[in-house]
Every structure is written in structure tokens, then in C-alpha cells.
Structure 1
Amino acid sequence: MDLTTFVFSGLPVIIQHYADFYKQRDLDSTLKELEPQQGLPKIQEYDFIVVGGGTAGCLVAGRLSNRFSVLLLEMGGDPPPPVYPAFIGSKMAYDIRSHPSINEIYKSIPQLTSALDDDGIATVHAGRMLGGTGSHNANVYNRGSPLDFDNWAKLLGDQTWDYKNMLKHFTDSENFVGPLVNERQRYEYYGQHGPLRVDVDLPEYLDTWILAGKELGYNYSDPNAYQTPSFTAQSVSLRNGLRESTYDAFIKRKLIWKPTIHRYSQAEKILIDDNNNAYGVAYTRHGIPQIAHAKKEVIVSAGAFGSPILLTKSGIGSADVLQAAKIPVKKDMPGVGKNLWDHVMLVLPFRRNDSSHRDPNFEEELKKFQRNPSNRQGYLAHQRRTQGFVASARAKADGEGDWADLQIQLADLLFREDYPDTVVLEACLGRPKSVGEFLFNTTAYLAGETANGKLGLSNFKYFSDPTDMDVVVEGINLCIKIMEGTQAFKPGRYKLDESHIPQACQGLPRRSAEMWKCALQRLATTLWHWAGTCKMGKDSDAMAVVNSKMQVFGITNLRVIDASVMPKVTNSNVNAPTMAVAQKGVEEIFRKHHSFPKEGMTEED
């Protein structure tokens, strides 16, 4: 066992120890706090209750607490130390994402066109800790194409959702410090005073990536100011070598005006009176029943899986589902859980055959990272990824040649004994036409299950529109052309490692479209970019759950603010768009309640 394997193999142990430690510490504090209640819940009142401490929930709670009293309910606790180092978060992400102590684990129903090597059952993991999945994803900061938001505005009949208007909601979050392709765009397109620090990843092979793109006819451009098909660097939310979530940026670092946070708290139902007015939340805190009332609004920010589960448990959903689960119907809303969007990808490993290449020394890199905690350096302080945005033949045929529907990502796998001299490319479907659904497990609910992972069943329906598969195959061929066919990457003598091709596909013509389609049905996997399950829509849209202000139809004082409201998924990583959705939601709330900052306070407090 080499040193890197020795060190990284300890990550699950460290995560478990800290998860146990944080939970016990919070339980001890909670028991002292609740001791005077004599075993009965004392109803607490707040202006707002936010359910879910993920990317959206932490931003919403942090911003609202500048002006109101806010209770934030989060199922998990604080993120454990291994989620923070930039390199670990990028390269060892799956080991962290799949750990059950900090993740909710969901199973799909049997899929017909994907996960066939696992009997059609796709297993996915959503972060269960403050910051949510935003605490352990790759922290890529891609806004998406401006055309994504212009399309939302068209679908919603609300121009406040177009890119021109959404731009301020991105810039309000950002302290963008990274270099830009066009520095003249900095003050027009980027924020300098927001809480979230955004940098640009500049691995040493970025120049090679740029040259490869130029060989293939692609410019090097900015992925965020006004994204076009191009090869680009990746923007990332990092601060001094550590990954930064909305929990870190909008709550943890605040000195004053913080929300009240109840960790290890599971929302059981939204309290709704006979007039369909939401007035509070019933929840358990470390399993102890609690009740909180909201004087103004209840905000559901539990994510694309958690939000439809909570609405359903509260009597908001398809009447057929509610009746099957013996839940009283508050609002028959068939769109709850429908409209599930996701990005699907195939990971392609390429072996380097360059005898002169040497990975950096792991112990030296540890010293660089640890030598000066106020200025972390070296490979471990960076993500080291690049990307490209490509419009497929399908997009061009649809008249959308400026609207990329493929995202190609490259990551260099340093310090991996199991993948020596390997880089991976990910061929990612950015604008799927296949749409799935998220199902409420009535059988589990009636059996007394309370964990979200048991109550939700995904049905991704990847490739149910067969042209999606054609687009990904086009992306696969582009990845091969980049690594094996460009002069830029020629010195590394890269070759696709085809040992991962499933045995069921090996009898098909090598590297043919048929072989890749076979592989996709067995190996394609999620990018963890779920969206749309409580979608925004017009009043006339029977499948819409919320209006363009993210207010739940038919229930007053109740909003959903997270990725689940997206009518369609953006064409790349969804963390940044989710923040913009949350920022817009906060603005809508401020406008409704005519709020003004507390005396002597700025938005950064």
C-alpha cells in the first residue's frame, strides 16, 4: 500500500468518527435545552421557518436572518473535516458522497434503459449535513447558458427570470476573485462584494486543453459571463484551498444576525389550517417531537428529492398518492415529484504513456498544504479540472447551435494507486429531452418509515428519448478525439482504457455507436444535478407546483425555494443556478414583506 492509499483509505473512518462526535455533542446540548419542557414540545415562534440546510436553504436562511427571526431545520449536522480540502473533494468525491453518516441514500425503481449492470437499480446519494450536497460536490461554479434562463422566462411568462434580470442574483452572491478571459467584463458580469468566494481553477494542463480546443475549432472563453460553445477553465467556490458551501459563506462566517439552527431535525409535516394557510412545521429533533410556528412564511428548501417528500407528507400532491398513503388531502397537485431532470454522463479513463511524466511527491504536497494554514499551496489546494461546452448535431438541427447541450470535463487523477497515469474525461448530457419522476413510497410510509431515503424512489428514465443517447455518443467520440487525436495531447500518448467496457458490449464493433449505446445503458451515471420536481409554471399548467414567485399554488404563506422549482435543468452544474434561484426567492420575500435592513447592518453582515 502506497502512502496516498494509506491516507485516503482513512477518510471513511474519519467521517464516521466526526459524524458520531458532532451528533452526540448536539444531542447533549439539545437535551439540556429541552429539559425544562417536561417532555412536551414548547411551541416556538419565528418570522420564517426554512426546512432544509442545503445550498438553497442556507442561503435563504442566512439572508433572511439579516432582517427577520429565522429557524433553519437540517436533518444532518456540521460537515466533517474531510469534505473541505479542495483536492479530496474533487478526486475522492464518491467516497465522501456515498458515506451513509452524511448522506441520504436513494434507490431507483428498476430502470429499462440504464443501470442494467445493477439490475436496473440506480443508487444515488444526497448530502445530509449543513450545506447539503453543496458541502461535498465538486464546487464547480457554472451559471449555465443565458439561453437556459431566457427559456425559463418564456415558459413562465415572467421576464424577471431571463438572464439579463437573473444576472444580479448571481452577482449578489459572489466575491469573484479569479482571473477572467476578458477582464473588461468583470464589473459588468461579476460580483465583488458577495459572501461566496469564487476563484478560477488553473491546472498546469490548461494551456494544453486550450490548444486542443483550438485544433477542433473551439475558442477559449468565459463559461459564466455569457457562455457559448467553447473550451473553458472551471470556476470553483474555494477559499484558501478549502471548498466553500453556502453554509460556510452565508451562515458560518457571519458574526451577527444568524438564523437559529436545529440540527438533526426531520420535518414531519407542514402545519396547514382549514383555510389552507401554512403556519408552522411539526418536526423531530434527535427524534424528539417539536412544533414551530411561522408568523410570516414556511419555506421548503429540502432539494429535488426532499421537497416533494415533505409536500406529500403534508397533504400536497397527487390525490391518488395521498389517498394510497392515507394522508388527508390538502391540495390535489399531480405535478409534485414529476418533471425530474438530471444530467447523465459516461466516465472515460485515458492512460498516459509518457515515461518522462512523474506525479508530484505526496509527502511534499502534504507539507505545502499544511505549512501555512493562511495560505495553503500545492496540488491538494486545487481541484485541477477543465471543461468544454459543445452544441451537438441535434442542437444544431434544432436551430440551437449557440446553446451547448454537451459538457466535457477533464480531471487528472493524481495520487491514485488504483488509476496510475490516468486522466478521466466525462461526457455529460447538458440538455436532456428525457424527463423522469420522483415517486413517494406509500408502502414504506404506511409501514412507519420516516427516513427520506426510504420514502422516495427515483425513476430517472435516462435515454427514454433515444436522441439523448445519440448526443452522449457524440460527446464520447469528441473525448476520444481530444485525447488521442489532437497534437496538443500527443506528447502524453494517451489511449482510452477499454477494460471498463462491459462484457455484454464487447462483442459489438469496437468503438461503434452500438457499442457505446450498450455501455451507456450499463455504465452511465448521474452528475448529481437533480432538478424540477416541484416546478414553477403558469396558473394554467396543471403540472406546476409553484408560481414564478415560488409560492405553492393553493396554499398561502408557503414557498418552495431550491433546485426543485426549475422548470428545466440548466445545461451544466446546478449549484450556482440554485444559489441564484435562492437569491431571487429572498428578494421576492423582502418585496412582499416590505422589509428594510436592521439599523447599522449591511447585506454582508
Structure 2
Amino acid sequence: MDLTTFAFLGLPTIIQEYAEFYRQRDLAATLKELEPLQGLPKIEEYDFIVVGAGTAGNIVAGRLSNRFSVLLLEMGGDPPPSIYPAYIGSIQSYDMRTNPAINEIYKSIPQSTSALDDNGIATVHAGRMLGGSGSHNSNVYNRGSPLDFDYWAKLLGDQTWDYKNMLKHFKDSENFVGQLVNERQRFEYYGQIGPLRVDVDVPDFLENWSKAAKELGYNFSDPNAHQTPSFTAQSVSLRNGLRESTYDAFVKKKVLWQPTIHKYSQAHKILIDNNNNAYGVAYTRHGIPCIAHAKREVIVSAGAFGSPILLTKSGIGPADVLQAAKIPVKKNMPGVGKNLWDHVMLVLTFRRNDPTYRDPNFEEELKKFQSNPNNRQGYLAHQRRTQAFAVSARAKADGEGDWGDLQVQMIDQPFIESNPGGAVWECSLSRPKSVGEFLFNTTAYLAGETANGKLGLSNFKYFSDPTDMDALIEGINLAIQIMEGTQAFKSGGYKLDESFIPQACRGLPRRSADQWKCTLQRLGGTQWHWSGTCKMGKDSDPMAVVNSKMQVNGINKLRVIDASVMPKVTNSNLNAATMAVAQKGVTEILNKNPFRTNAESREI
């Protein structure tokens, strides 16, 4: 066992131990705080209550707390220290995303077109800690195509959602410091004074990436100002070699006017009066019943899985589901849980066959990273990723040749004992036509289950539109062409490791469309980009859950602000788009609530 394998083997233990350490520490403080109440819940009162401290919730709570009193409820605790180093966050992200100490685990109902190697059961994981999944995702900062937002605006009949108007909401989050392909675009298209530091990852193979683009007839361009089909570097939310989530940027580092944060707190019900006004939340904190009232609004930011679960538990959802769960119907809303979008991907591994290659010295790289905490250096302080956006034959036939529907991402992997100098690729379908649903598990609810992972059942329906599979195969072939067929990467001698091909598919012609279809049905899975389950829509849309201001239809003083409101998933990594949704949501709230009525404005 080499040193790197030895070091990374400890990650699950570190995560588990710190998660428990943080929980016990917060439990002791909570018990001391609640001790004078003699076991009875105190009714706390705030201007706003935000449920969920994920990517969206931290922005909403952090900004609103500049002016108002805000309670932020989060099911988990502080992120463990091992999620922060940039390299670990990229290379070991799967191990962190699946660790039950910091994640909620969801199972699908049996799938007929995917996860066949797991008997059709897809298992997915959502971050349960401050920052949510934004604390342990890949930190890729891709806004998506401008055409995504123009499409939303058209669906909603609301031009404030088009890219021209959404640009300011992206810029509000950004302190963009990375180098650009076109520096003249910096001040027009990028924020300079936002809380979140956004850099550009510049690995040593970026020049080869640019050369490969030229060989294959693609431009090398910027993924964010105006994303086009092209090869690009990746923008990432990193600060001094460490990952930065919206919790770090919008809440943790605030000196004044932080929201009140209750960790290890599970929202059980939105309190709604007889006039359909949301006025508070009933929740448990370390299992202890608590009640909080909101003088102005309740905002649900629990994510594409958590938000429909909470609405359903509160009597907002399909009437037949509520009745089956014996939950009093507050609002029959058939769209809750429907419209589940995701990016399905296949992971490829390439082995490097270059006799001159040697991995960097791991101990030397540790010293570079640790010797100066104010200026972390070396491989461990970087993500080492690149990407390309491409257009499938299907999109071209649909007249969408400028709107990428394929995304391929190359992740360079030094320090992997089993594959030194190898590379992992994520090949994803970024504009699928297949759409799923997220189901409320009434049986589990009636049995007394309270954990979200037990109450939600995903039904992704990947490849239910068979043309999705044809399009994704084009992305797989592009990845192989780049690594095995371009002069840019020839010196590495990269070859696809085909040992992952399922046994059931090995009798089919090698690398044929039939073999890839067989493989996708068995191994194709989530890219963790869930959205749409509480979608925005026009008043005339019977499946809309919220309007274009993210207000829940038929319930006053209640909004949903997170990725669940997206009418359709954007065509790339979802974190940056979720931030823009949150920024727009705060703008809508402040337009309605410009100042406190009983205190001086806190805006700084």
C-alpha cells in the first residue's frame, strides 16, 4: 500500500468521527439552552424562517439577516474538515457524497431502463450538513447556457428570468478572480464584490485540452459569460486551496447580523392557519420538539427532495397522496414531486501508458499544501478538471445547434495507486427529454418514519425517452476520441479501461451502440443535479407549485427557493444556477419587504 492509499483510507473514519463529535458538541449546548423550559417547547419568533442550509438556503438566510431576524434550520451539523481540500473534494467526492454520516440516503422505486445491475434500485445521496450538497460537490461553477434561462422565461411568461436579467443575480454572488479567455468580458459579465470566491482551475494539461479542441474543430472558450458548444476550463469556488460553499461565503464568515442557526433540526410541518397563511414551523432539534413563528414569511430551501417532502407533510401536495397518508389537505397540488429532472452520466476511466510518467511525490505535495496556510500550493490545492460542451445529432435536428446537450468532464488523477496518472471522465446528457418524479412514501410515513431518506422515493425514468441514450453515446464517443484519437493526448498513451463493462454486455460488439446502450441501462446514474420537483409555472399550469416569484400557489407567506423550482434543469452543473435562483428569490422578498417596520434596517 502506497502513502496516498494509506492517507485516503482514513477519510471515512475522519468524516464519521467529526460528524459525531460535532453532533455531541451541539447537543450539549442545545440541552443547556433548553433546560429552563422544563421540557416544554418555547415559541420563538423571527421575521423569516428558512428551512434548509444548502446552497440556496444559506444565500437566502445570509442576505435576509442583513435586515431582518432569521431562523435557519438544518438537519445536519458542521462540515467535517476533510471536505475542504480542493484535491480531495474533486478526486474523493464520490466517497464523501455517499458517506451516511453527512448525507441523507434515498432509494428509488424499481427502474426498468436503468440501474439494472442493482435490480433497478438507484441509490442516491444528498448532503446533510451546513452547505448541503454544496459542501461536498465538485465545486464546479457553471452557470449553464443563456438559452436555458431564455427558455425558462418563455415557459413562465416572465422576462425577469431570461439570461439578460439573470446575469445580475449571478454577479451578485461572485468575487470572480480567475483568468478569462476574453478579459474584456470581465466587468460586463462577472461579479467582483460578491461573497463567493470563484477561480478558474488551470491544470498543467489545459494547453493539451486547447489543442484537442482545435484538432476536433471546437473553439476553446469561456463557459460562463456566454456558454457555447466548446472546450473550456472549469470555474470553481475555491479559496486558498480550500472549497468554498455558500455556507462559508454567505453565513460563516459574516461578522455582523448572522442568522440564528439551529443545527440537527428536522422540519416536520409548516404551520398554516385557516386562512391559508403560513405562520411558522414545527420542528425537532436533536429530536426535541420546537416551534418557531415567522412574522413575515416561511421559506423552504430543502432541495429537490427535501422541499416536496416538507410540503407534503404540511398538507400541500396531490390530494390522493395526502389522503393515503392521512394528512389533512391544506392545498391539493398535483405537481408536488412531479417534474424531476437530472443529468444521467456514465463514468469512464482511462489508463495512462507512458513509461516516462511519475506521480508527484505525495509527501512533498503535503508539505506544499500545509507549510503556509495563507498560501496553499501544489496538487492538493487544485481540482485538476476540464470540460467540453457538445451538441448531439438530436439537438441539431431539433434546430438547437447552439445549445449544448452533452457535457464531458476530464478529471486528472495523480496519486491513485491502481491507476497512476490516469484520468476519470464524467460523460453526461445535459438536456434530457426523459423526466421523472419524486414520490412520497405513505407507507413509511404511516409507520412513523421521520427521516427524509425513508419518506422519499425517486423515480428517475432515465432513458424513458430512448433518444436520450443515443445522444449520450455521442458524448461517450467524444471522450474516447479525445483521449485515444488526438495528438494532444497521444503522448500519454491513454486507453479506456473496459473492465467496467457489465458481464451481460460483453458479448455485444465492442464499443458498439448496442454495447453502450446495454452498459448505460446497467451503470448509467445520477450526476447529483436534481431539480424541478416544486416547479415554477404560469397560473394556467395545473402542475405548477410556485409562481415566478417562487410563492407557493394558494398559500400566503410561503415560498420555495431552491433547485426544485426550476421548470427544467440547466445544461451543466447546477450549483451556480441554484445560487442565482436564490439571489433572485431574495430580491423578490426584499421588493415586498424593503425594511423592518419595528427596527432600523440592518443592511450594511
**For this structure pair, what is the TM-score category when the shorter chain's length is used for normalisation?**
over 0.9
- Aligned equivalents of 2:525, 2:422: Cα separation in 1: 20
Deviations 1:313-369 (A, max 9, x none): 000000000000000000000000000000011111111111011110100000000
Aligned to 1:300: 300
Contact (CA 8 Å) 2:131, 2:245: kept in 1 or not? yes
Tell me which amino acid in the other structure corresponds to 2:176: F
Q: How does 1:559-598 map to 2 (within 5 A)?
A: 559-595=559-595
Evaluate the alpha carbon distance shift between residue 565 and residue 382 of structure 1 in structure 2; reply closer, same or farther with a 3 A threshold.
Answer: same
Contact (CA 8 Å) 2:299, 2:561: kept in 1 or not? yes
Aligned to 1:347: 347
Aligned to 1:522: 522
Aligned to 1:8: 8
Aligned to 2:423: 423
Q: Quote the offset at 1:21 in angstroms.
A: 0.7
Aligned to 1:505: 505
Evaluate the alpha carbon distance shift between residue 536 and residue 66 of structure 1 in structure 2; reply closer, same or farther with a 3 A threshold.
Answer: same
Unaligned segments of structure 2, at least 5 residues: none
Contact (CA 8 Å) 2:359, 2:420: kept in 1 or not? no
More deviation, 481-490/292-301 = 481-490
More deviation, 592-601/378-387 = 592-601
Aligned to 1:322: 322
Tell me which amino acid in the other structure corresponds to 1:10: G
Number of corresponding residues? 603
- Aligned equivalents of 1:81, 1:61: Cα separation in 2: 23
Deviations 1:205-250 (A, max 9, x none): 0010110011101000000000000000000000000000000000
Aligned to 2:366: 366
Contact (CA 8 Å) 2:181, 2:222: kept in 1 or not? yes
- Aligned equivalents of 1:131, 1:427: Cα separation in 2: 26
Aligned to 1:539: 539
Please state if 1:478 is matched with 2:478: yes
Q: What SS does structure 2 have at the residue aligned with 1:107? A: strand
Q: Quote the offset at 1:493 in angstroms.
A: 1.3
Q: What SS does structure 2 have at the residue aligned with 1:87? A: helix
- Aligned equivalents of 2:475, 2:18: Cα separation in 1: 40
Aligned to 2:440: 440
Unaligned segments of structure 1, at least 5 residues: none
Q: Quote the offset at 1:426 in angstroms.
A: 1.6
Q: Quote the offset at 1:601 in angstroms.
A: 6.2
Contact (CA 8 Å) 2:48, 2:298: kept in 1 or not? yes
Tell me which amino acid in the other structure corresponds to 2:156: L
TM-score of the two chains, using structure 1 as the length reference = 0.99
Aligned to 1:174: 174
Q: Quote the offset at 1:387 in angstroms.
A: 0.1
Q: Quote the offset at 1:418 in angstroms.
A: 2.9
- Aligned equivalents of 2:219, 2:202: Cα separation in 1: 17
Q: Quote the offset at 1:596 in angstroms.
A: 7.8
Find runs of 4+ consecutive structure 1 residues off by over 4 angstroms. Answer: 596-603
Contact (CA 8 Å) 2:595, 2:601: kept in 1 or not? no
Tell me which amino acid in the other structure corresponds to 1:89: G
Q: What SS does structure 2 have at the residue aligned with 1:305? A: helix
- Aligned equivalents of 1:212, 1:599: Cα separation in 2: 58
Aligned to 1:62: 62
Tell me which amino acid in the other structure corresponds to 1:564: S
Aligned to 1:87: 87
Q: What SS does structure 2 have at the residue aligned with 1:488? A: helix
Q: Quote the offset at 1:602 in angstroms.
A: 5.6
Aligned to 1:209: 209
Aligned to 1:406: 406
Q: What SS does structure 1 have at the residue aligned with 2:27? A: helix
Deviations 1:376-412 (A, max 9, x none): 0000000000000001111111000000000010001
- Aligned equivalents of 2:601, 2:339: Cα separation in 1: 44
Q: Quote the offset at 1:462 in angstroms.
A: 0.3
Tell me which amino acid in the other structure corresponds to 1:542: P
Q: What SS does structure 2 have at the residue aligned with 1:247? A: helix
- Aligned equivalents of 2:297, 2:435: Cα separation in 1: 31
Tell me which amino acid in the other structure corresponds to 2:506: Q
- Aligned equivalents of 1:54, 1:441: Cα separation in 2: 23
Deviations 1:480-510 (A, max 9, x none): 1111111111111111111111110000011
- Aligned equivalents of 1:197, 1:263: Cα separation in 2: 25
Q: How does 1:50-129 map to 2 (within 5 A)?
A: 50-129=50-129
Q: Quote the offset at 1:519 in angstroms.
A: 0.4
Identity fraction in percent: 81
Tell me which amino acid in the other structure corresponds to 1:264: Y
Q: Quote the offset at 1:594 in angstroms.
A: 2.2
Deviations 1:533-558 (A, max 9, x none): 00000011000000000000000000
Q: Quote the offset at 1:447 in angstroms.
A: 0.2
- Aligned equivalents of 2:601, 2:566: Cα separation in 1: 36
- Aligned equivalents of 2:351, 2:18: Cα separation in 1: 36
Q: Quote the offset at 1:51 in angstroms.
A: 0.2
Aligned to 1:337: 337
TM-score of the two chains, using structure 2 as the length reference = 0.99
- Aligned equivalents of 2:504, 2:325: Cα separation in 1: 40
Contact (CA 8 Å) 2:176, 2:192: kept in 1 or not? yes
- Aligned equivalents of 1:132, 1:37: Cα separation in 2: 31
Tell me which amino acid in the other structure corresponds to 1:112: S
Aligned to 1:384: 384
Q: Quote the offset at 1:421 in angstroms.
A: 3.4
Q: What SS does structure 2 have at the residue aligned with 1:96? A: helix
Tell me which amino acid in the other structure corresponds to 2:180: L
Evaluate the alpha carbon distance shift between residue 602 and residue 589 of structure 1 in structure 2; reply closer, same or farther with a 3 A threshold.
Answer: closer
Aligned to 2:287: 287
Please state if 1:38 is matched with 2:38: yes
Q: Quote the offset at 1:420 in angstroms.
A: 2.9
- Aligned equivalents of 1:7, 1:290: Cα separation in 2: 42
Q: What SS does structure 2 have at the residue aligned with 1:172? A: helix
- Aligned equivalents of 1:94, 1:408: Cα separation in 2: 17
- Aligned equivalents of 1:238, 1:231: Cα separation in 2: 21
Aligned to 1:25: 25
- Aligned equivalents of 2:284, 2:466: Cα separation in 1: 44
- Aligned equivalents of 1:53, 1:269: Cα separation in 2: 17
Q: What SS does structure 2 have at the residue aligned with 1:155? A: helix
Contact (CA 8 Å) 2:483, 2:494: kept in 1 or not? yes
Tell me which amino acid in the other structure corresponds to 2:225: A
Tell me which amino acid in the other structure corresponds to 2:126: A
Evaluate the alpha carbon distance shift between residue 192 and residue 596 of structure 1 in structure 2; reply closer, same or farther with a 3 A threshold.
Answer: farther
- Aligned equivalents of 1:86, 1:455: Cα separation in 2: 33
Tell me which amino acid in the other structure corresponds to 1:109: I
Aligned to 1:221: 221
Q: Quote the offset at 1:600 in angstroms.
A: 9.1
Evaluate the alpha carbon distance shift between residue 514 and residue 202 of structure 1 in structure 2; reply closer, same or farther with a 3 A threshold.
Answer: same
More deviation, 497-506/307-316 = 497-506
- Aligned equivalents of 2:30, 2:105: Cα separation in 1: 26
Q: What SS does structure 2 have at the residue aligned with 1:353? A: coil
- Aligned equivalents of 1:596, 1:330: Cα separation in 2: 30
